[in-house]
Amino acid sequence: MDQQWARIRGRLKDEVGEIAYRSWLQPLSFAGIRGGEVRIVVPTRFMRDWVLTHYADRIRNLWSGENPEVQSIDVVVAAANAPAALAADDDGEDIEGNDAAPAPARLSSALVQPNSYTSGSYGAAPPSPAFSDESPTAVASVLEDRTDISAPLDPRFTFENFVVGKPNELAHAAARRVADATSVTFNPLFLYGGVGLGKTHLMHAIAWQIRRNDPNRKVIYLSAEKFMYQFIRALRFKDTMAFKQQFRSVDVLMIDDVQFISGKDSTQEEFFHTFNALVDQNRQVIISADKSPSDLEGMEERLRSRLGWGLVADIHPTTYELRLGILQAKADALNAAIPLKVLEFLAHKITSNVRELEGALNRIVAHAELVGRAISLESTQEVLHDLLRANDRRVTIDEIQKRVAEHFNIRVADMHSARRARAVARPRQVAMYLAKQLTARSLPEIGRKFGGRDHTTVMHAVKKVEELRTTDPAFAEDVELLRRMLES
């Protein structure tokens, strides 16, 4: 029997490949044969279900080829310390095992290891017998990590506190739909956008809403980095089956910043199989990243394809109106009296991301409380001088030249040329003016970027534009439009 089982395992390994074999078939053990039925033991219920679904027919066919008496197979879940050969069904008939097996034991409920561990909605995983060879300290450490597998949720990040605008309305609507749905709607839901635009806020909000609607649903929310960390620990302690069962038995799996596993082939392989297992079971998967699935470099093509299966919702950079709305909501939450002109100034000047915007507001409120000064435009500029300079530096002279040239329908090369025709000279002066207003470059530096002109030429351009803005409303409107476009 052992020789037959060894040949069958070798055939299976050749057919399914090394990775699938190690994950699903290597842990199988032959328990015995009775009445044309082969009994195979697996460590977990999840593994039993997977083997029955994907490999049972093939194993039966291979056994029949080796032994024509075999008509069926029975896959059972047994504890790690159960005897290799299980015997004595209810009718008292013996199971024929191998010679090296221990004395036949009765197959009782004590040997069956169902998925009996309990967990909360952000649940824990069971202890695994595979840790028995490790030191008690190592075992305790791993089990402690297991119980804290899901990242903590920020109570501020709820749907009620999420300010909706045109840049994020699709992502918000999709997140609400998934959070409130009683069945899987979009699988996976893939949210992507730049830093500080609200991806993590929406992820937390979904988890909070699911917990509120149905506390019994098992949800795991964690970063891709922590997923990789847990996988590495499972490999280290030879406990990959418990890892698989933990992640593949949830109702909702939420992975934040999935781009972190780019280039990490082993973690991608495991995540790919976890993703497929959950989707096959109609469990919800929610992913966030900084790029769309098709743009994730270092990801396997098959994984990128899976991530784009469901609904892909992007979060665009914020508009001025959305930034102002966020600031007003944040000011109300802080119960702070902040002049509207200060909020408008912040929304106008800090355009990179919402996180930086909220940080700026916290700074000026804290400064007012600690120093005892009323919040004003002047105090705001003083407190945030470093942040404002950093944002100013993000606009480059090259960008200004390109945007102004497009607006006035001239070539960028004309910005550096010696041409003095008004159709070219006036846009060039506007570009110099904006470079002075929106960057931290000195006058000589600006002059050099415009064909090596002297700093006095830049001073003249700035003065001329300021004069025209006061006398020509249409010109002033053009300049203001260009400023807004460059700062947005």
- Write out pLDDT tens, residues 413-437: 889 888 888 889 999 999 999 998 8
Lookup result for tokens 């999709």 = 174
Q: Is 35 annotated as a binding residue?
A: no
36 torsion bin: left (phi>0), alpha (psi -120 to 50), beta (else): left
How many other C-beta atoms are found inside a 10 Å radius of the C-beta of residue 311? 17
Give yes or no for residue 392 having a pLDDT over 60.
Answer: no
At residue 281, the pLDDT reads 87
- Two structure tokens written together for 77: 């879940």
Mean pLDDT score of the chain: 79
At residue 462, the pLDDT reads 92
At residue 242, the pLDDT reads 83
Rounded mean pLDDT of 132-137? Answer: 34
Q: Would you call 165 helix, strand, or coil by DSSP?
A: coil
pTM score, two decimals? Answer: 0.53
Q: Is 200 annotated as a binding residue?
A: yes
How many other C-beta atoms are found inside a 10 Å radius of the C-beta of residue 27? 15
Give yes or no for residue 481 having a pLDDT over 70.
Answer: yes
Q: Answer with the residue of higher pLDDT: 293 or 34.
A: 293
Rounded mean pLDDT of 242-257? Answer: 88
Q: Cβ(85)–Cβ(95) under 8 Å?
A: yes
Summarised one tens digit per residue, pLDDT across range 110-127 is 223 333 322 232 233 333
As a whole-number percent, the residues of the chain with pLDDT over 90 amount to 17
Q: Is 341 annotated as a binding residue?
A: no
Q: Cβ(73)–Cβ(56) under 8 Å?
A: yes
| Amino acid letter, 159 | F
> Across 68-77, 113-122, 322-331, which has the greatest mean pLDDT?
322-331
**Which H or E run contains 254?**
strand 252-256
CA distance 38 to 70: 7
86 DSSP β-pair partners? 105
Q: Is 310 annotated as a binding residue?
A: no
As a whole-number percent, the residues of the chain with pLDDT over 70 amount to 84
Summarised one tens digit per residue, pLDDT across range 164-210 is 988 899 999 999 999 998 888 888 899 998 888 889 999 999 999 99
